[in-house]
Amino acid sequence: MVRRWVLLPALVLGGLWWWAVLRLAFVPEHSGLVEGAVAAGGWGLSLLPVHVAATRRRRPEPGRGVSGAGGEGS
C-alpha cells in the first residue's frame, strides 16, 4: 500500500519533468518560465543525493597507526 503512495507521485513528477525537458528541446519558442523551472528543478534534485550522501569513514585498526597504509614493511 505504501509503495503505491510513493510510486504514483514519483511517476507523475518524473513524467512532468520529461514533458518540460522535451518541450524545451523540441519547441523552445512555445516553452516558458514554467517549463524551464521544472526542468532545472528536476535536474538540481537529481544531483542532490550525490552531494548530500553521508560518507562512512573507516576507523584505523589497532596497532596500524592513523594512515592504515600497512605499517613498516609495506
* Threshold 0.85, pTM exceeds: no
pLDDT tens digit string along 43-71? 777 666 665 556 677 776 676 655 555 55
pLDDT tens digit string along 25-35? 999 898 889 88
- Calculate ∠ Cα 33-39-43, nearest 5°: 140
Amino acid occupying residue 41: G
Query: How confident is the model at residue 26, as a pLDDT?
Result: 92
